[in-house]
Amino acid sequence: MQKFLTALVLIPLGLIFIVFAVANRHLVTVSFDPLEPNDPMGTVQLPLFVLIIGVAILGVIAGGIATWFRQSKWRRAARRHQAEAIEAKAQLANLRASVMTPAASEPRRLLLDQSSTTSRRDKAGAAV
């Protein structure tokens, strides 16, 4: 079902991409020299669809990097909490081991109440 939905979305997007590329294939001049608009030093001629798709890819990369930097405090907190949880589990295991070890090494003694060992009966034979 997931492959069908993926194909249902990706095939139309691919077709739109191809139509966009064919419709915008004329060359545009891109200048990287803002000081000399008449005779720029750094110019590149690209098809318009390459320019638009390239700028979109750069925007996605820049957004991903910005998001990664903004989420750094949450990743740091998650690492700290994970380390604290591991430490707490280790302490719990040590405490459980220390509680279980002395109890296992001591011989078990059954303490009986002295009053229950002596059997008393009344005149009718009932236990008192």
pTM comes to 0.54
Return the pLDDT at 22: 87
CA distances from 77 to 69, 74, 117 (A): 14, 5, 62
Q: What is the pLDDT of residues 59-74, one digit of tens each?
A: 999 999 999 999 999 9
Mean pLDDT of 92-99: 92
Q: Phi then psi for 62, rounded to 5 degrees?
A: -65, -40
Q: Provide the percentage of residues in the chain whose pLDDT is more than 70.
A: 82
Q: In terms of C-beta distances under 8 Å and separation of at least 24 residues, what long-range contacts does 55-62 make, across chains too?
A: none
Q: Which residue has the higher pLDDT, 106 or 100?
A: 100
Q: What is the pLDDT of residues 11-49, one digit of tens each?
A: 998 898 889 888 888 898 888 888 877 777 888 899 998
Return the pLDDT at 119: 61
